[in-house]
Amino acid sequence: MISLKKNIAVSESGFVFNPTTGDSFSLNGVGTDILKLMKDGKSEAEIKSTVRTWYDVDQDTFDKDYYDFLKMLGQYKLLDAE
Amino acid sequence: MKKQLTIAVTGLNNIDSPGPGVPVIRALRDSEEFDVRIIGLSYEALEPGIYMHDVVDHVYQIPFPKSGTEVIYSRIAYINSLENIDVLIPNFDAELFNFIKLADRMEKELNIKTFLPTVEQFEARHKVNLEEFGEKHGLLVPKSKMIFSTAEVPKLAQDFTYPVVVKGQFYDAHIAYNQEQVATYFNKIAAKWGLPIVIQQFVYGTEVNIVALGDGEGNMVGAVPMRKQYITDKGKAWAGVSLDDEGLLNEAKSMIASSKWRGGMELEYIKTSDDEYYLLEINPRFPAWVYLAVGCGQNLPEALVKLALGETVENFTDYEIGKMFIRYSWDLIVNMKEFEEISTTGELGTSSKKRAS
Amino acid sequence: MEKQRYERPIIRRLNTGVMNKFGTKTEYEPVTHIDDCAVKDLLADYGSPLFVISEKKIHETYQEAKRAFTTRYPKVQFAWSYKTNYISAVCNVYHQLGSWAEVVSGFEYQKALKNGVPGSKIIFNGPDKTVDELKLAMENKSLIHIDHLDELYTLTELCEETGIRPKVAIRINMDTGIYPMWDRFGFNYENGQAWDAINKIVLSDRMDLVGLHCHIGTFMLTANAYGVAATKLSELALSIQSKYGKKIQYIDMGGGFASKNTLKGSFLSGYDTSPSFDDYAEAISTSIMNAGFVEDELPLLILETGRAMIDEAGYLLGSVISNKRLSDGRKATIMDFGVNIMFTSFWYDHKISPAQEFSHHTEDTVMYGPLCMNIDVVRENATLPPMKRGDQVVVHTVGAYNMTQWMQFIALRPAVVMIDLQGKPHLIRKREELTNIDQQEQMPDYLKEFKL
């Protein structure tokens, strides 16, 4: 399962700091929510259904955006791939 | 009691090639007459001035010059609604055009005062127009030419003798000894600062600089000449010393008299072995070493604020000769929380000092 | 519970790489309406993409230009530059405002006549005028601006043949201190070509030399060059007067005024740096006024400015086809309009605004057009909110040249709508259909059938 690296902190304002690399990032609202859900250890299915109950978005659109977002998280070395 | 003023200042990038913001603020904080609340205006989240809490009271990010005057005005109006700014001092060449254009509107609608050169002065002193400016005001200026393409480089030999100086329209200058070097610098500078590129005849001699303040009526309020004693690899002053150079003072005085320069400025000259002064560049704002003038007894930023407020200012008649400045760096220790705040909200309140209500 | 408005999740790295004093710009501020018409409705009614012309903006800009010149100079006439935008409805807005027509081909000339412009109010410019076109222009008493000696000889022959005495001007090119110098059109001032042509015209005594014309360049960011040009033309007019006793009736300063667009590679916004009509007017008027004409004999000043008149009145509305991630991690957005209909994206960084609200978060994206061609790049780098398929955008300042230089390449050309002064949209050019292109083609019989 793909999960967020343990030492990554996500603040309310959507600020993320990666203490391993020293990089910092900013997220928009949906991005912040996804990272927080990941941080809480939610599964992919749980994250998707939760976001879709919070936001007005259809499944196909969100699926596509979600995978693109995960790819960016991977590229920024914020994920643990197990 | 000292007069309370809120002053907004840009140029907080007190890095190895420093902006003049922090030295200007330091000068204002030294004022005997004013008690200032300083509003820092920053472009980047890592400008050191943002985190210097005894220098800047509150910081706001502002949009980059290319976003245009409308966007910048609305941001300044927002900041003013919270801070009630009395005077605004921009310190970057590249942002000046926009602030000059906005000056009247800021004064009328927001009651923010500035003391800036006119658009005509600003344009006339531009590197690409400097030769004409020199002719008009009787100043020696090295021959120069704008080029728009590297295809024009081979033809330069008709008008110039190598070496020449290759300059960007706002920043950057390199000495080139042949065509190939010109082409290399052309591409380097064009990629960063755009076109045109200015080619200037290299003049042999000693570089001397002078910081000055013109009152817009042709009178020079004050000026301090300086020679860089040591420069960094970026050509910036590392250390410098104030000079007893009557010739240079006269050059600045006549330039200001003839152009009726309004605002702070730095003039860069080459003094040849025949004691001729060639004007290389006019920077339309105070330089980063302006605090040397304060150290020599001329608080030029304070005088500029008075001029902006419409107060009368006595000319400075004297300054200490042989005073030096030596630049040093200092590592601030900053909490991530502050970086987060400026990055995500575009603001950082850094001082316990209260806003004037 | 009401659901929140969704926006694609984005993550953006802060302060990477070298610190730059002035980096990317934020340009984003949604534009949902043009002259009270909702972008959404316009696209629903006329399809996407769609060009929109604001008649209101045309009027405002025209009045601004007129004020700038007429407050400084007593006799001013504008001529609408057909090549800038020759959709007939657009031309007629200018003709209703009082503009003559300025054309550079037989096709444009016919268009002006068809729009109802009297022949005597058409200025015929350009290097390519056929014998028949010249004849027609002579019969219509149009103002023929001679570009080269071959044209002058042809015209002389036609005068003999028809017995008509046409009204002509010559186009002059000259050094005004700007680079590049346009010396391919007309006769050079400095090397004596201009005098040579003038002597031939006057001595042949078959045509009336009524004007002098120049057009010093395009997107001129310095108004001074116009001052230099106006001085030189005025001197020439006065010398003709003293040498031949013939009064030059008009000086035509051409066009080339910059619009509010931002040229690629420039550092500040074109909105702030382009000279205003006042700047150009000041430079030109001062030069002519100071040239030494007797006051009531000042020549008529004709201006053919096109770009600065209409650029801001034109918008291109379009929609997002898809978002992509490029191999190096950059975001790419594919739009339904490309360089085929927005030719000017080759030299401007056009301002692009989203047409719906977003949060303040943005990301950098390359904007591509829909063509299957690598060069189809609308913006190399734009900072915009996260847009999804179907989201709409407004491209600003596209009124000049796009609706004439557009290509029917790969795709058909979109509709053009004009919003009138009351805020009502009118279709002024229909979306192209296959038949529009097809009807020009002919199929040899032997190619009509095939088996696959």
Final residue belonging to a domain, choices C268, C296, C311: C311
Give the pLDDT of residue C22.
Answer: 36
Final residue belonging to a domain, choices B201, B223, B246: B201
Q: Which of B349, B318, B69 is nearest to C271 (CA)?
A: B69
Question: Quick one: pLDDT band at residue B357, thresholds 50, 70, 90?
Answer: very low
Q: Which of A10, A47, A42 is nearest to A28 (CA)?
A: A10
| Domain range summary for chain A, segments of one domain joined by + | 2-81
What chain B residue is nearest to C361 in terms of C-alpha separation?
A: B344
pLDDT digits (tens, 9 = 90+) for A2-44: 788 888 888 888 899 988 888 889 898 999 999 999 999 999 9
Is B136 part of any domain?
no
Same domain, C170 and C139: yes
Q: Does C211 or B132 have the greater pLDDT score?
A: C211
> Residue B332 is encoded by which pair of tokens?
């601030």
d(C-alpha B110, C-alpha B357), whole Å: 16
The CATH number that applies at residue C46 is: 2.40.37.10
End-to-end CA distance of chain A: 6
Give the pLDDT of residue C17.
Answer: 43
pLDDT digits (tens, 9 = 90+) for B30-46: 999 999 999 999 988 88
Same domain, C83 and C199: yes
E strand map for B131-219: 144-147, 164-167, 173-176, 197-201, 206-215
The answer to whether residue C88 scores a pLDDT higher than 90 is: yes
The CA angle C439-C442-C444, to the nearest 5 degrees, is: 155
Same domain, B211 and B312: yes
CB contact under 8 Å between B339 and A24, yes or no, is yes
The answer to whether residue B103 scores a pLDDT higher than 70 is: yes
Q: Which residues of B57-81 are buried (b: 16+ CB within 10 A; e: fewer)?
A: bbbbbbbbbbbbbebbbebbeebbe
Give the pLDDT of residue B44.
Answer: 86
Same domain, C116 and C154: yes
CB contact under 8 Å between C7 and A62, yes or no, is no
Give the pLDDT of residue C23.
Answer: 37
Q: Which of A72, A77, A78, A79 best probes binding to C when mutated, by most C CB atoms within 10 angstroms?
A: A72
Give the pLDDT of residue B173.
Answer: 86
Number of domains into which chain B is organized: 3
Number of alpha carbons in the 13 Å side-chain half-sphere of residue C265: 14
**Which of C20-24, C337-341, C373-377, C431-435 has the least mean pLDDT?**
C20-24
The CATH number that applies at residue B180 is: 3.30.1490.20
Architecture, CATH, for domain A2-81: Orthogonal Bundle (1.10)
CB of C186 closer than 8 Å to CB of C127 = no
Same domain, B192 and B208: no
Query: What domain range is B79 assigned to?
Result: 3-114+330-349
Q: Does C243 or C17 have the greater pLDDT score?
A: C243
Task: Tell me the mean pLDDT in the region B205-227.
Answer: 96
Is B48 part of any domain?
yes
**Which of B286-295, C294-303, C308-317, C379-388 has the least mean pLDDT?**
C379-388
What ipTM does the predicted assembly reach? 0.90
CB of C364 closer than 8 Å to CB of C17 = no
The answer to whether residue C24 scores a pLDDT higher than 90 is: no
Residues sharing a CB contact under 8 Å with residue C47, sequence separation 6 or more, in sequence order = C414, C415, C431
Give the pLDDT of residue C360.
Answer: 73
Same domain, C126 and C241: yes
Same domain, C349 and C225: no
d(C-alpha C30, C-alpha C384), whole Å: 10
- Compute the residue count for chain A: 82
Neighbours of chain C (3+ CB pairs under 8 A): A, B
Final residue belonging to a domain, choices B154, B179, B201: B201
Please list every residue in chain C whose beta carbon sits closer than 8 Å to the beta carbon of residue B169. Answer: 267
The CATH number that applies at residue C234 is: 3.20.20.10
Give the pLDDT of residue C357.
Answer: 84
Please list every residue in chain B whose beta carbon sits closer than 8 Å to the beta carbon of residue A17. Answer: 336, 340
Same domain, B179 and B224: no
Rounded to the nearest 5°, which phi and psi values hold at B261?
-60, 140
Final residue belonging to a domain, choices C279, C311, C343: C311
pLDDT digits (tens, 9 = 90+) for C257-307: 999 888 887 777 788 888 999 999 999 999 999 999 998 899 999 999 999
Give the pLDDT of residue C20.
Answer: 38
Question: Quick one: pLDDT band at residue C15, thresholds 50, 70, 90?
Answer: low
What chain C residue is nearest to A10 in terms of C-alpha separation?
A: C11
Same domain, B83 and B26: yes
Please list every residue in chain B whose beta carbon sits closer than 8 Å to the beta carbon of residue C22. Answer: 43, 64-66, 92, 94-95
Query: What domain range is C384 assigned to?
Result: 33-52+313-431
Give the pLDDT of residue B209.
Answer: 96
pLDDT digits (tens, 9 = 90+) for B146-158: 888 888 898 888 8
Number of domains into which chain C is organized: 2
Same domain, C275 and C167: yes
CB contact under 8 Å between A55 and C4, yes or no, is yes
Is B135 part of any domain?
no
Is B30 part of any domain?
yes
DSSP 8-state symbol, B88: E
Task: Tell me the mean pLDDT in the region C387-394.
Answer: 93
Question: Quick one: pLDDT band at residue B355, thresholds 50, 70, 90?
Answer: low
Give the pLDDT of residue C230.
Answer: 96
What chain B residue is nearest to A26 in terms of C-alpha separation?
A: B344
Please list every residue in chain A whose beta carbon sits closer than 8 Å to the beta carbon of residue B343. Answer: 15, 24, 26
Give the mean pLDDT of chain B: 91
Neighbours of chain B (3+ CB pairs under 8 A): A, C
Same domain, B254 and B174: no
Same domain, B322 and B335: no
pLDDT digits (tens, 9 = 90+) for B171-184: 788 999 999 999 99
Give the pLDDT of residue C218.
Answer: 83
For C114-134, give the DSSP string: HHT--GGGEEE-SS---HHHH
Task: Tell me the mean pLDDT in the region C67-72.
Answer: 96
The answer to whether residue C121 scores a pLDDT higher than 80 is: yes
Give the pLDDT of residue B106.
Answer: 97
Is B344 part of any domain?
yes
CB contact under 8 Å between A29 and C8, yes or no, is no
Same domain, C111 and C210: yes
The torsion of the CA quartet B280, B285, B286, B287, rounded to 10 degrees, works out to -50
Q: Which of C251, C255, C254, C253 is nearest to C212 (CA)?
A: C251
Is B357 part of any domain?
no
SS (H, E, C) chain A: CEEECCCCEECCCCEEECCCCCCEEEECHHHHHHHHHHHCCCCHHHHHHHHHHHEECCHHHHHHHHHHHHHHHHHCCCEEEC
Residue bearing tokens 């690296």: A5
Give the pLDDT of residue B351.
Answer: 55
Final residue belonging to a domain, choices B183, B201, B219: B201
Final residue belonging to a domain, choices C251, C282, C311: C311
The answer to whether residue B70 scores a pLDDT higher than 50 is: yes
The answer to whether residue C339 scores a pLDDT higher than 60 is: yes
What chain C residue is nearest to A51 in terms of C-alpha separation?
A: C6
Same domain, C221 and C338: no
The torsion of the CA quartet B243, B248, B253, B258, rounded to 10 degrees, works out to -160
Please list every residue in chain C whose beta carbon sits closer than 8 Å to the beta carbon of residue A66. Answer: 9
d(C-alpha B45, C-alpha B102), whole Å: 24
Same domain, C218 and C124: yes
What chain A residue is nearest to B340 in terms of C-alpha separation?
A: A15
- Min distance C284 CA to chain B CA atoms (Å): 18
Please list every residue in chain A whose beta carbon sits closer than 8 Å to the beta carbon of residue B339. Answer: 24
- Helix ranges, C163-218 (H): 193-204
Give the mean pLDDT of chain A: 90
Please list every residue in chain B whose beta carbon sits closer than 8 Å to the beta carbon of residue C221. Answer: none
Same domain, C84 and C45: no
From the number of C-beta atoms within 10 Å of its C-beta (0-12, 13-18, 19+), residue B246 rates as exposed
Same domain, C294 and C340: no
Same domain, C94 and C160: yes
% of chain C surpassing 70 pLDDT: 96
Task: Tell me the mean pLDDT in the region B47-73.
Answer: 90
